[in-house]
Structure 1
Amino acid sequence: MVRAWFMDSSDEDQRLEHHRDPPQLVSLDQLFKLSGVEYFKLDPENYQKDLENLKKKRGYTYEDNITCSKECLENYEQKLKSFFTEHLHTEEEIRFVLRGSGYFDVRDINDEWIRIAVSPGDLIIIPAGIYHRFTLDSEDFIEAKRFFIGQPVWTPHNRPADDMECRKHYLQRVSRGFEE
């Protein structure tokens, strides 16, 4: 099961957990209410049927795999730095972890960071327009499936991007508690 918590403000190694003292855990219900992030747990060994159902239900038509490690990712240090730069996307960001682990950090409605630790079987959907970032944990390895509706949109829009339509729409949704 995924774990989430409010982050401390330390600028130590981004791959550490960064719990507040004392730790402030975030439940899945809180995670959705505070950020709109959705979570699904799939069997990491037998996920195909559940994944196909989710893809059909949400209209995902494109998928690929990404592996992040020193051995597999060209320009590793530069890529990790760009993944960890606070940004948003105009489309949902969907990741299903096959192997390894890492952290997705998202800004909540109060502009505080929530860290989400993901491992095999975790599928998260980060809404369009939310400020977020990604980093590996101390294991330095993750393999995940990525999904899109239509053609993939890879463009990150670094903060500030508050004038973008997707950001305005996200802020409207968060103010209504994601009721739609």
Structure 2
Amino acid sequence: MRAYYFDGLPGDQRLLHDSGNPVQPEVLKSIGVLHWHIPVPADGQYDAVDAVAQERGYKNRDVITITKQGLGDLYESKLKSFYEEHMHEDEEIRYILEGSGFFDVREHPNDSWIRCQLDAGDLMVLPAGIYHRFTLDEKNIIKAMRLFKDEPKWTPHNRGEATDTNSYRLGYLKSIAVN
């Protein structure tokens, strides 16, 4: 994974938008973003991913493939909805099996976008309550394993007054507060 500050320039969301200002792993850790690089096993045995899943209490998983061909007419609208700034009330865990894409996360307290470029083998955990968004890159394909603590769910809460006071958002802010 490579992380850097988003350049904020207009243009296709699938472009790099690299400001040239890298983000160190300590910064990501300070906002609760975790990352491992676990090469995708050729034999389909995900022992290292299983170990992370067990450590973090993830009981379920599925695999999702996002492509322009696969989504057809829904492709553009789905990409736009993934790119809306939102948060979840659960951790968001993705292990990239094929392809690549970007997760943008909000740095707190300055509200800057940090772009995380993920490729095959990257496993990322976004904490519940963090504002973020997702997009494919120009290759237009990603295959990812999604891990869940309980039943699979993915409910985005778009940023606004209601999410700013959401108990999961407030819990997130408390968890990253510097004492």
- Range into which the TM-score falls when normalised by the shorter chain: over 0.9
Matched, 1:44 2:46: no
Moved segments of 4+, more than 6 Å? none
What percent of counterpart residues are identical?
44
The match for 1:174 is: 176
Matches within 5 A, 1:88-127: 88-109=87-108, 110-127=110-127
Match of 2:29 among 15, 28, 32: 32
The match for 2:2 is: 3
Structure 1 position 152, deviation (Å): 1.9
1:67–1:73 Cα contact (<8 Å) kept: no
- CA separation in 2, counterparts of 1:176 and 1:91? 22
Structure 2 residue identity aligned to 1:158: N
> Which structure is higher in helix share?
2
Structure 1 residue identity aligned to 2:52: L
Structure 1 position 146, deviation (Å): 0.2
The match for 2:149 is: 149
Q: How many positions carry a matched residue from both structures?
A: 173
Matched, 1:78 2:74: no
Structure 1 position 153, deviation (Å): 2.3
Q: Deviations over 1:127-177 (max 9, x none)?
A: 000000000001111000001101122110001111100000011112138
Structure 1 residue identity aligned to 2:130: I
User: Which runs of no fewer than 5 residues in structure 2 stay unpaired?
Assistant: none
Q: Secondary structure at the match of 2:64?
A: strand
> Which structure is higher in strand share?
2
Alignment root-mean-square deviation, CA: 1.3
TM-score normalised by length of structure 2: 0.93
- CA separation in 1, counterparts of 2:63 and 2:70? 12
- CA separation in 2, counterparts of 1:51 and 1:19? 29
1:63–1:147 Cα contact (<8 Å) kept: yes
The match for 2:56 is: 58
Q: Deviations over 1:1-55 (max 9, x none)?
A: x1000111112110111122xx11012122111x210001101125611111111
